[in-house]
Amino acid sequence: MRVESPRRVALNNRKVKSIEERLESINQRTAIDHWGMDCVVGKGKACALVMTERKSRKELIFKLKAKKQECVHMILNGLERKHKGRFKELFKSIMMDNGSEFLNFETLEGSSLRFGEKRVVCYYTQRLNIIR
C-alpha cells in the first residue's frame, strides 16, 4: 500500500497582485518596460530564465543553475546592480506564474541596493487559493 506524503503548500504568496489589477495600458501593450518572466526547463537540470518586454517583445535570457527562488533572485539582483538607478524605469512591472521559483514575491520586489525599498511591482497570473 502506497502512503502519500502530506501536500506542502507555499503560504508566502497570499498577498500578491493579480494580473487583473494591472493598468489597462499594460494589458493593451501601449506602455513600455513591463515584462513577463518564466523559466524554461531543458534536459537534466538545464534551466533558463526568460524575460520578455510586453510591447517590444525584446527578450532577455539567463542561464540558471537550478529552478529555484534563490537563482531567480540572483538574476534580478544582477540586473539591478547593472542598471543601478535606472532599474525602476526599465523594469516597471514583471508578470509571472505561480511557479515555485517565483513564490517569494517580497524578495523579488525588494531592492538589493536600497534596503526597504521596492525595485519592481510583481503581478501573478492567478492568486493561490490556500486551503487549510
pTM over 0.85: no
Inside any domain, residue 98: yes
Inside any domain, residue 38: yes
Inside any domain, residue 53: yes
| Total tally of structural domains belonging to the chain | 1
Residues 36-80: pLDDT tens digits? 999 999 888 789 999 999 999 999 999 999 899 999 999 999 999
* pLDDT band at 91; cut points 50, 70, 90: very high
What is the residue-wise DSSP string for 79-129?
HHHHHGGGHHHH-SEEEE---GGG--HHHHHB-SSSTT-BS-EEEESS---
Inside any domain, residue 115: yes
Domain range holding 69? Answer: 17-124
Cα–Cα distance for residue pair 80/66, rounded to 1 Å: 20
Cα–Cα distance for residue pair 106/118, rounded to 1 Å: 9
Inside any domain, residue 8: no
Among 129, 131, 62, smallest CA distance to 101 is for 62
Inside any domain, residue 7: no
pLDDT score at 29? 86
Length of the chain: 132
Inside any domain, residue 64: yes
Task: Please classify residue 43 by burial: count the beta carbons closer than 10 Å to its beta carbon, then call 0-12 exposed, 13-18 middle and 19+ buried.
Answer: exposed
Inside any domain, residue 56: yes
* Domain of residue 65, CATH code: 3.30.420.10
Is 13 in contact with 128 (CB distance < 8 Å)? yes
